[in-house]
Every structure is written in C-alpha cells, then in structure tokens.
Chain A
Amino acid sequence: GNSVTQMEGPVTLSEEAFLTINCTYTATGYPSLFWYVQYPGEGLQLLLKATKADDKGSNKGFEATYRKETTSFHLEKGSVQVSDSAVYFCALRDVQGSSNTGKLIFGQGTTLQVKP
C-alpha cells in the first residue's frame, strides 16, 4: 500500500543553520504531498503542499519540491530559527481505487530542535 518514510529524528541544529528533512513516498497514481508542522502542545498546521510532479511548495522560508523520479519531497530551509523547533510530518493524500477518499497517510514525524 501507499506509505511515507521520513528521516529519523531528533534533528538538532544551531540557529541560522541549513535544514533538510528527508521524505520519500510509495504510491500508485499521482498523490498530493504535504508537510505539516506540530508545535508543542498544539495540533497540526499545514506548512506547504505540492499537487503534481515538479511543483515546489513554499511557506515561511520552508520549501519542498515534488520529485516523481525519486519519489521524494524533502523539506528545506536556508536558515532555521529557535521558533522552528517542532515536529514535522510529511504526508501524502491517498487516492483509494476509483473512490477519491482523500485520506492522509503520514510519515512518523521528525523532531527538530534549534538551539540559540
């Protein structure tokens, strides 16, 4: 079945460092891909999305490009801040047979800790 695999965490970086969180997926068809962020004690917030191959999603300095050839959707940010400390989830939007259910399939999450 469809699945998402993220790099193991936690990832610990110093402020202003470059961030990459790897995400690869297995899916039939053409799923949409998402990054969600969960700050401590809060729900999930959509960070960015891409709906077709070669699309680049971006928001708040974060970027991710939908790479169909490598089935990847890696999250990047050029200069992280302490406030970016959170858990990041990669997800794909599942298309189940001929019925478009749209459920999300999540990776296991990657914890990011940014130190001053």
Chain B
Amino acid sequence: DIQMTQSPASLSASLGETVTIECRASEDIYSNLAWYQQKPGNSPQLLIYDANSLADGVPSRFSGSGSGTQYSLKINSLQSEDVASYFCQQYNNYPPYTFGAGTKLELK
C-alpha cells in the first residue's frame, strides 16, 4: 500500500494569513492526488483533484501543487470558514486508495 504522510497534524493561523499543508507519498503517485476539506460535524468535500485542479465551487484562494511524491495545499488569505480538517488522498495505486492522517486547521 502507498503510505501518505501529511503534515502538520495541526495548525493555528490568523485571518488573512497564508497556510500550507504538505503530503508526501511513499512512492510516485503521478499527480493522482486529491485534497478534501471536512468542517466539524460534516462530511468531507472535494477541494482539489489531480494535484492542482480546483473542484467546482471552491474559492480560488485554495490551490494545489506538487508532483512525484511531494504535494501541497495552499490557502491564501485565510477566512474563518476555512476552519476545518484537511485530508489528502492518493488514487494512483489501488486497492486501497489511501488517505493522509489529516491536518486540523484552527484560528489563532
């Protein structure tokens, strides 16, 4: 199975700040990576697919980048509604698809 190592596990940031979350795969996943946002008490929602494509309706302050084994999610100008947990997922090698352990983003 491909292991997804996500960092940091938690993050505290101020409104308007830029935040970056990293995900490292145990082998090359050829940009077959998605990012999901999960607000407290809700189901996950797709943010980014294919490493850098924005899902429908997702604000442009969210962006994804990376290749090979290293990927990142950047949130520009942090808003209060961005408080959530974020998960990466690889879909290159399956089964199983594997997720990162998640990053909990809070406001400072």
Partners in one complex: no
